[in-house]
Structure 1
Amino acid sequence: MKLHDIAHARTGDKGDISNISLIAYDPAHWPLIRDHVTPRRVAAYIGSIAPENVTRYELPQLHALNFVIQGALTGGVTRSLALDAHGKCLASVLLEMEVTPKK
């Protein structure tokens, strides 16, 4: 299944840093999201932007993860010629990631 089936996301930005919050619709999906959506996997999945570093913060009480992605915005909003200078599309990209529940 894709993440968008079990979670929603929101992005923010500051300079050349993007953050993506990933929140489970249903608390029952929290363990699947927590176990499968790792910093390494996120970095590989959005690798076309070549992030410098991906840090993950867990918010179990909210059934959410927050990823801080350094070097994601090719210089930042005021310095980038990218079409998505704020990185708002990164949430949609991440939500296309496949996760597989354990059987």
Structure 2
Amino acid sequence: MKLKQVTHSRSGDKGNISNVSVIVYRMEDYEKVKKQVTAEKVKDYFHEIVKGDVVRYELPKIGALNFVMQNALGGGVTKSLTLDRHGKSLSSALMDMEIDMEADVDDSNY
């Protein structure tokens, strides 16, 4: 299924850094989303756009993951020739990531 079926998102940017939050609709889905939507998978998903590191921050009390993507906006608003220089559409693009909500969660890894 698409990530957007169980989450919504928010995004922001500063310079050449994009910030995308993924927030579950239902808290019971948080662990499965957390297991599948890793920094590595997000970096791979945006491999054509994100040229720097991706760091994931976990916010379990609100059921959210925040991804900070370095070197993600073609140099930033004043340098980039891309259509979306602010990176606002990256949150919408991430919502199309495929995940498996039927996957078992191994609680021993948390």
* TM-score category (smaller protein): over 0.9
Unaligned runs of 5+ in 2: 105-110
Question: What is the root-mean-square deviation of aligned Cα atoms in Å?
Answer: 0.9
Q: What is the CA–CA distance in structure 2 between the aligned matches of 1:62 and 1:97, rounded to whole Å?
A: 21
Which segment is superposed worse, 49-58 or 66-75? 49-58
- Structure 1: 4+ residue segments shifted above 4 A: none
User: Per-residue displacement from partner, 1:80-99 (whole Å, max 9, x unpaired)?
Assistant: 11100010110111100111
Specify the alignment match of 1:86 in structure 2.
86
Identity among equivalent positions (%) equals 49
TM-score, normalisation: structure 2? 0.90
TM-score by length of 1: 0.96
Distance 2:8 2:15 in 1: 24
- Secondary structure (helix, strand or coil) at the match of 1:77 reads coil
Aligned residue runs from structure 1 range 18-97, under 5 A: 18-97=18-97
TM-superposed CA distance for 1:76, in Å, is: 0.4
Of residues 45-54 and 56-65 in structure 1, the stretch that sits farther from structure 2 once superposed is 45-54
Aligned length: 103
**Could you say which structure has the larger radius of gyration?**
2
Task: Return the alpha-carbon distance in structure 2 between the equivalents of residues 16 and 50 of structure 1.
Answer: 10
Q: Give the whole-Å Cα distance in 2 for the aligned partners of 1:51 and 1:29.
A: 30
Aligned partners of 2:50 and 2:70 also within 8 Å:
no
Q: Is the 8 A contact 2:3 2:98 kept in 1?
A: yes
